[in-house]
Amino acid sequence: MGRSSKDKRDIYYRLAKEEGWRARSAFKLLQLDEEFSLFKGVRRAVDLCAAPGSWSQVLSRKLRGKREESEDVKIVAVDLQAMAPLPGVTQIQGDITKITTAQEIIRHFEGQPADLVVCDGAPDVTGLHDVDEYIQAQLLLAALNITTHVLKPGGTFVAKIFRGKDVTLLYSQLKVFFSGVTCAKPRSSRNSSIEAFVVCENYSPPEGYVPNMSNPLLDHCYDVDFNQLEGPNRIIVPFLACGDLSAFDSDRTYPLQVTMVTTHIQGSTPVGPKTFKIKDPVNESVHVL
């Protein structure tokens, strides 16, 4: 086992660089897919708050594979920031709280709703957990709001959530629109982080519900007693750890891989294997300074 580390450049950071992912967060979506089979039968997908594009990369590789001509698969990435192009991904630089953004998504799908909507968006954290949890909850509800405009009945919605004392309120709000809601923690998500992901399956809005961007989903005048219940009367949000237990631990530091090279000169006795250690760019930069 490796030793504990606070270094941002952990094993998943290095694996992301090695495999060509734009960010280590790609492994979070991959591990969620391993547990919930998110991509099964998906032909139209939306990535909200997409920049820098690691989740869009996962969608592109998993849904399109190596077939560059797969026209039946459509992926739309939405963010306020522009990001580098990705094969098979249509980018919309827009605000997820605007109805025009939802209309633009549907237009790219030629009038058809999406099968899957994912959102890995998060605010710039302040370090004040109560404030961060509240802002993240508002971002999640904004993503849910636009999802009600673009997701087909029976579709799936995945979004980041900060687990706090009011997670029950968010869970109850999501249960209004989805029959199955699970709070999941991928193996690649650091244990020290309060982040998790809600996997909402089987979109089934209430009968007669009309999506409306002008009405916030979170009503501040909700029943306070609902969140103060204790014992068997309190709603327990299902929580699931995703990822194989034999996978890398994001809170550990692992030694760099060692490459074994065997050399042989013609007409001479074979030389045993030589070991070459890969240079550590972090330590090297320290020595240079």
Is residue 18 scored above 80 in pLDDT? yes
**Looking at the domain assignment, is residue 221 inside a domain?**
yes
221 pLDDT band, cuts 50/70/90, is very low
Residue with tokens 């250690």: 277
* Cβ atoms of residues 158 and 118 within 8 Å: yes
Backbone angle region of 88, left / alpha / beta, with phi > 0 → left and psi within -120 to 50 → alpha: left
Does 79 count as an annotated binding residue?
Answer: yes
List Cβ neighbours of 90 (8 Å cut-off, separation of 6 or more).
Answer: 74, 75, 76, 77, 108
Say if 269 falls within a structural domain. no
Residue 119 identity (one-letter amino acid): C
Q: Is residue 263 part of a domain?
A: no
Provide the pLDDT confidence category of residue 68 given band limits of 50, 70 and 90: low
Cβ contact 201:116 at 8 Å:
no
Q: Report if residue 283 sits inside a domain.
A: no
**Band of the pLDDT at 209, cuts 50, 70, 90?**
confident
On whether 95 is known to bind a ligand per the annotation, the reply is yes
Residue 247: strand, helix, or coil:
coil
Mean pLDDT of the 89-100 span: 93
Is 120 annotated as ligand-binding? yes
Asked if residue 194 is part of any domain, the answer here is yes
Q: Which domain holds residue 236?
A: 3-255
Give a yes or no: residue 286 inside a domain.
Answer: no
Residue 132 inside a domain? The answer is yes
CB 187 within 8 A of CB 243: yes
Q: Binning pLDDT at 50, 70 and 90, where does residue 95 land?
A: very high
Average pLDDT for residues 140-148, to the nearest whole number?
92
Q: What are phi and psi of 78, to 5 degrees?
A: -125, 130
HSE on the CB side for 75, CA within 13 Å? 24
Q: Domain total for the chain?
A: 1
Looking up residue 209, the CATH number of its domain turns out to be 3.40.50.150
Query: Hey, which bits of the chain come out as E strands?
Result: 3-4, 44-48, 74-79, 89-93, 114-119, 151-162, 178-186, 195-203, 239-242, 252-253, 258-261, 274-277
167: DSSP letter: H
Amino acid 263 reads: T
Pick 193 or 288 by higher pLDDT.
193
- Residue 198 has what pLDDT? 95
Domain assignment present for residue 280? The answer is: no
Least confident segment among 47-61, 119-133, 176-190: 119-133
Active site residues per annotation? 160
Query: Mean of the pLDDT values across residues 121-125?
Result: 88
